Amino acid sequence: MRTPDDLIEKSGWRGPGRHRSPQRDRLNEIDALRITAAVAVMTYHYVFSGYAGGASPLSFPVAGELARFGYLGVDLFFMISGFVVLLSAWERRPRVFVVSRVVRLYPAFWVAVTITTVVSVTLSLGRYPVTVVQYLANLTMFNALPDIPNVDVVYWTLWAEIRFYALIFILTWIGVTRSRVTGMLWGWMALTFLLQSGVLPASVHSVADLVVQSQFSHYFIAGMALCVVYRSGLSWNLGMIIVVCLGNAVYRGVEFADKVGTRYHTEIMAGVVVAVIIGIFLVMALIALRVTRNLGRPWFAVAGALTYPLYLIHAHVGFVIFTRLGDKMQPHLLLITTMAVMGLVAYAIHTLIERPLAPVLKQALNGRSSTT
C-alpha cells in the first residue's frame, strides 16, 4: 500500500547499461495493482465475509462465490510492499527511510482510526466498542505489542508491514547492495522453513515469528527479489528464490484457505487460490522484467493514491452503514452506494490530509526544511 513516490527508484543507476529518467521509471502498473487489491479486499468484506461472519445483514450468495477470494488482495499487497519499499529504500540513509515511512503511514491512519472510532462508538449499536486506551494505543500502530485489539479488523496488516520495515531499516543501516539483499533473502527463507517445521518450542516460535512472519514472508521475500531483478536483471540465484517463494506461497495459501473456509463454514476452492497466487507472481515478475512498461498510464497513480485510505476506512464503517440502512435500501444499491462513498472518503483523506500534511510532517521530523 504505497504512495506513487515510492514507485520511483531513487538511485541514478537504472540497470546494466541503462540510464532512465524518473518519469520513465515510474511504475504506474503497480498503482493499478494496488487499487485492484484494495477493491478486492473491500468486495471480500462487503459481499462475502461481512454476512458470513455476522457483521453485515446483506447477503449476496451469487456474487459471494467469487468475492470470497478477495482476501488474496492482501497477499498481493505484501508482495508489492516487498518490491516498492526496497526500491524506495535503496541508497537512502536510515533516517530518511524512517521519516518517509512515518510520513506515508501515519496521517491517513490517524484520520481513519478517528473516523472509525467515532462511527463505532456512536452508530454501531455496541457491535464495535472502542475504549479511550484502545483508541490511543491504535494511533501508535504498535498496539499489538501490549495485545490491545485493533479498532478495525483490517489494521492487522499494518503491524505486519511495520515489522517488515524494521528489516529494511536494518538493510539501510548496513547499506543496501544486491549481495546483501540476496543473502538476507536466503536467510529469511531458511528461518521461514525452520519455523514451519515446528521443531522449535512454542514460546521460541512465537517470539521468532514476530520477525520472520512465516505465514506471509514468502511474499515480502519474492517482492524484494523481484525488486533486485528490476534494478539489475534476473539471475539463477534470484530466480531460485522466487520459485521457492512461489512454492511456499501455494503451500501456505491452500492451508490458509482451509482456515478461511472453516471460519465461515464454507469452502474456499484450493484450485482457484493456487491460480490467483500464481497469477500474482506472474504479473509481478512481468513488471520486474519491464515487460509491462507500455501498459502503465499516468492516471493509474491517481487511483493508486487512494488505495491506502480506502483500505483503512472501509470495513467497520461499511458494516455500520449496512446494519443501519440494510432494511431501508435495496441491497445491491446500498452496496454500490457504500463503495462509492468509501471512495469519496478515501479521496477526501488523500487530498485534505495526506497531501497537505506530508511536507509539514516531513519538515518537523527532519528538524529543518529539506527534501528527500
Mean pLDDT within 167-185: 96
Task: Please give the pLDDT value at position 368.
Answer: 56
Mean pLDDT within 1-7: 39
Report which secondary-structure segment, H or E, holds 230.
Answer: helix 217-232
Contact 61, 324 (CB under 8 A): no
Residue reference for cell 531513487: 10
Percent of the chain at pLDDT > 70 equals 92
Mean pLDDT within 211-219: 97
Task: Please give the pLDDT value at position 298.
Answer: 87
Long-range contacts of 211-214 (CB under 8 A, 24+ apart): 211/163, 211/166, 211/167, 212/188, 213/160, 213/163, 213/164
Q: Report pLDDT digits (tens) over 79-107.
A: 999 999 999 999 899 999 999 999 999 99
Give the pTM: 0.91
Contact 275, 253 (CB under 8 A): no
DSSP state of 124: S
Burial of 274: CB neighbours in 10 Å, binned 0-12, 13-18, 19+:
middle
Residues 192, 189: Cα–Cα separation, whole Å: 5
Q: Report pLDDT digits (tens) over 22-34.
A: 334 678 999 999 9
Contact 195, 209 (CB under 8 A): yes
